[in-house]
Chain A
Amino acid sequence: MLLFILFLLTHLIADPPHSYAAWHDWMSSPAVNVVTSVFVVALLAHAWVGVRDVVMDYVHPIALRVLVLSSLVLYLTGLGAWVARILWLRQG
């Protein structure tokens, strides 16, 4: 994830996209698409592990814990679906 952040920052500093077309072309290249997808999967997996650990430390009643953790799963899969739509199902 650190490598991706550095990759994105380097691109934005070295060759800032001054137009929609430039940004769109860069994001549409297969390599950037794949790398971004891998980053998002890693990010969402990390968010799951991290927030789960925090929830398990502070939320003890089992029913409430199940409720919070299932909301978390819903939240993160929803975000994943949103990114999938942007990265893979975009028109044009």
Chain B
Amino acid sequence: MFLDLVRIQMPVGALTSITHRVTGILLALGIPFGIYILDQSLQGPESYTRLISLFDQWAFQASSIVLIWALAHHLLAGIRHLLSDIDVGSLLPAARRSAWIVNVGGLLVALLAAGALL
């Protein structure tokens, strides 16, 4: 069995695929944070103001950017998957190209989010 961890290269599609899983788990773990924000935003004027000031904390901004990246990647990879289910872009060259688009597109959205938040 070839298992030289230094020389093994993951094809770009494999990276897209495993990241789709990781981001999915990340997003599932992020749901309670989103619900907490919704809850605090509707509890009353004081908790609303407290929540808005929380938006300026770097820890909040950093985790938001990570979750937005996760959402963008997961969404794009999901659309790519649906397209390949109906035989759009299933052949290797197109699949590799779309995998690159997904990986880079997710990072671009995260960059946009960072620009908007910071």
Contacts and interface: CB of A to CB of B under 8 A. Distances in A.
- Chain A binding surface, main DSSP class: helix
B48 A51 contact: no
A79 B75 contact: no
B31 A50 contact: no
**B: interface residue count bin:** 10 to 19
Contacts of B21: 54
B42 A27 contact: yes
Contacts of A5: 71
Contacts of B93: none
Interface residues of A, number: 19
Given A43-B31, A50-B28, A23 B48 contact: yes
A4 interface: no
A23 B37 CA distance: 13
A43 B38 CA distance: 15
Instruction: Please give me the 9 A-B residue pairs with the lowest Cβ-Cβ distance, nearest first.
Output: A20-B48, A20-B45, A47-B28, A50-B24, A86-B39, A51-B28, A82-B35, A79-B31, A54-B21
Interface of A: 2, 5, 20-21, 23-24, 27, 43-44, 47, 50-51, 54, 79, 82-83, 86, 90, 92
